[in-house]
Amino acid sequence: SAAEKGSFDHFMMKEIYEQPQAVRQTLAGRVDPAAGSVDLSGAGLSPDRLRSFERIQIVACGTAWHAGLVGRRLIEAWARLPVQVDVASEFRYGEPLVDGRTLTVAISQSGETADTLAAVREARRLGSPVLGIVNVEGSSLAREADWVLTTKAGPEVAVPSTKAYLTQVVALHLLALALSRVERPEEGRMLLQLPQRIEQTLAMEPRVRELARQLAGQSHLFYIGRGLDYAVAMEGALKLKEISYIHAEAYAAGELKHGTLALIEPGRTVVALATQEALRTKTVGNMVEVKARGGRVVAVTPDRPDARKEVEVAADALLALPDAPEGLLPVLAAVPLQMLAYFAAVERGCDVDRPRNLAKSVTVE
Ligand code: G6P
């Protein structure tokens, strides 16, 4: 109802604005502010049990799968464990290689997605214990998993997931740190800055709205990025597709030239994420390739002189993120991409909260 939406026109925007609080609640009691250590004993997972696993298998659908792709990067980087991420419906009917030494991590906002539940049952049948990362307490996934790490996003009403995604990504940061055999106090403490940094990122709204209006008439968009930025690009493209019905695809920036560059023609817009300093020069190179074919580049990069200077040369428009610790930037970058999809959809007169053909929770396989 209108009252529940408060001053917002749609639940989606209300939920975008609830992200600082959702993330704060997801971090609460799980990170020691002084030591920077992560404690998942609330999920029933002792450090020894966690560190007994040799591999991680992530299963999820849709936006939760995109969170899983971020999680893979984090777990591989911090815990140095091999991680496989599968769409639940593919895992289920593949020939999954999981066993007792594999921790299966199932991510789901609703905890009721049929494909994800089927994947969980298959993993458990093969002897792999399951950690559920789930938003709805008391859901089927929460009941069937061996351990549950709750995302504390609160009820998410809009079909396009925003705050649930961000809290899933945060939960995966916590898991990656908890799985790490070495202490990573700086990363732990860094996470505690997130709520305030997301707050700052929300201030990008007028800028994103202006850009979305310019893009709303397009029929295809590309999103590119490397590493964590690639995973975030995939979520940005999905958000745009599902609510504005503008076709969008995400590519690993380095892969563009292996085929998709053929689709770049004058006026074609590419949203390029360049949040990571070590990868920036390479991504800027890809932006230059796009521009050389007449494409239009919207760059997402931190508001820092060095980053801006390098990126601006190859960008037609800039979405400048708050200057935050680099590890937080891919998380923050999701926020303007949510808003970009939102305003493009509103501009096109779409039913943002209830896009055609989609359901909040898909309980059939
Ligand atoms: C549906 C929703 C998506 C969501 C997916 C997985 O398709 O429309 O937004 O990402 O289900 O939902 P879950 O509840 O398992 O996270």
Q: What one-character-per-residue DSSP string does 286-307 give? A: HHHHHHHTT-EEEEEEES-HHH
Predicted local distance difference test score (pLDDT) of residue 262: 87
* Mean pLDDT value of segment 52-58: 97
277-292 and 305-312 are packed helices; what angle lies between their axes, rounded to 10 degrees? 20
Q: Is the ipTM value over 0.90, yes or no? A: yes
Cα separation, 215 vs 336, in Å, equals: 14
- Given a cut of 70, whether residue 40 has pLDDT beyond it is yes
**Other Cβ atoms closer than 10 A to 214:** 15
The residue length of the chain stands at 365
Predicted local distance difference test score (pLDDT) of residue 2: 55
Whether the pTM exceeds 0.80: the reply is yes
Do 347 and 216 meet the contact criterion of CB atoms below 8 Å apart? yes
Pocket test for ligand 1, best of 161, 357, 358 (most atoms within 8 A of CB): 161
The backbone region for 259, taken as left when phi is positive above 0, alpha when psi lies in -120 to 50, beta otherwise, is left
pLDDT top residue among 294 and 2: 294
Q: Determine the distance separating the centroid of ligand 1 and the alpha carbon of 83, expressed in angstroms.
A: 22
The finding on whether 159 has its CB within 6 A of some atom of ligand 1 is yes
Q: Whose CA is nearest to atom 15 of ligand 1?
A: 108
Pocket test for ligand 1, best of 144, 361, 365 (most atoms within 8 A of CB): 361
Which residue(s) pair with 2 in the sheet?
none
* Mean pLDDT value of segment 78-88: 97
* Mean pLDDT value of segment 227-253: 97
* Mean pLDDT value of segment 64-87: 97
* Mean pLDDT value of segment 188-205: 98
- How many helices (H) and strands (E) the chain has is answered by 16, 10
- CB-based contacts of 123: which residues, under 8 Å, 6+ apart? 57, 59, 91, 96, 98, 102, 104, 106, 130
* Mean pLDDT value of segment 95-108: 96
Q: What is the pLDDT of residues 251-285, one digit of tens each?
A: 999 998 888 888 899 999 999 999 999 999 999 99
Do 149 and 133 meet the contact criterion of CB atoms below 8 Å apart? yes
* Mean pLDDT value of segment 342-355: 95
Strands (E), the chain: 55-60, 83-87, 102-108, 130-134, 147-150, 220-225, 247-252, 269-273, 296-302, 317-321
Do 156 and 128 meet the contact criterion of CB atoms below 8 Å apart? no
- Given a cut of 80, whether residue 1 has pLDDT beyond it is no
Handedness of CA 8, 12, 15, 16 (dihedral sign): negative
Four-point Cα dihedral 255, 260, 266, 268, nearest 10: -80
Mean pLDDT lowest among 26-30, 109-113, 264-268? 264-268
Q: Whose CA is nearest to atom 8 of ligand 1?
A: 360
* Mean pLDDT value of segment 290-319: 96
Ligand 1 atom closest to the CA of 65, numbered from 1: 10
Q: What is the mean pLDDT of the chain?
A: 95
Predicted local distance difference test score (pLDDT) of residue 3: 61
* Mean pLDDT value of segment 109-122: 97
